[in-house]
């Protein structure tokens, strides 16, 4: 009986440690991703260009208008950390790394990445990503 209790407690403790590592790692990854993209946009001077494109693009303006009508309580995730976990869960870490390598090498376009994400994520999840991205751009 004591043996099984020790086994159960060990499994429970290691599961908790694993969950804590996963949770912390996804939070750290999302922070680093947002920081890296923001820094890259600011260094290259494209941040203002992106904001101008948003202001001039009628589709994006329609989205921004719709974004104010979106009930954020109904979105599948509300923070960039939750979004990171959802994308890792749906797409997979190895596939995300492959996408990153292909984009950096120029073998994959922005449209191909969007298509791939649309295949793996629901419309609600994509809307939640847009809301989070819009909020991050406004910071």
d(CA 94, CA 77) in angstroms, rounded, equals 22
pLDDT score of 13 more than 90 = yes
Its pTM stands at: 0.59
Burial label for 17, CB within 10 Å (0-12, 13-18, 19+), is: exposed
| Token code pair at residue 80 | 């960039």
d(CA 23, CA 124) in angstroms, rounded, equals 23
Domain boundaries, the chain: 2-138
Give the orientation angle of helix 123-138 with respect to helix 58-69, to 10 degrees.
100
d(CA 6, CA 1) in angstroms, rounded, equals 9
Q: What is the pLDDT of residue 68?
A: 64
- Per-residue pLDDT tens over the stretch 70-88: 677 777 888 888 888 888 8
């Amino acid at each position: 009986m004591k043996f099984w209790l020790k086994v159960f407690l060990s499994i429970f403790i290691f599961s908790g440690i694993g969950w804590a590592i996963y949770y912390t790692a996804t939070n750290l990854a999302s922070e680093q991703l947002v920081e890296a993209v923001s820094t890259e946009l600011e260094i290259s001077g494209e941040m203002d260009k992106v904001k101008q494109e948003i202001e001039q693009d009628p589709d994006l303006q329609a989205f921004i208008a719709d974004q104010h009508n979106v009930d954020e309580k109904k979105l599948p995730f509300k923070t960039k950390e939750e979004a990171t976990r959802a994308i890792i869960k749906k797409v997979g870490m190895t596939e995300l790394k492959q996408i990153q390598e292909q984009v950096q090498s120029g073998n994959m376009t922005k449209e191909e990445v969007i298509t791939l994400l649309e295949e793996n994520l629901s419309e609600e999840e994509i809307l939640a990503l847009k809301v989070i991205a819009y909020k991050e751009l406004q910071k």
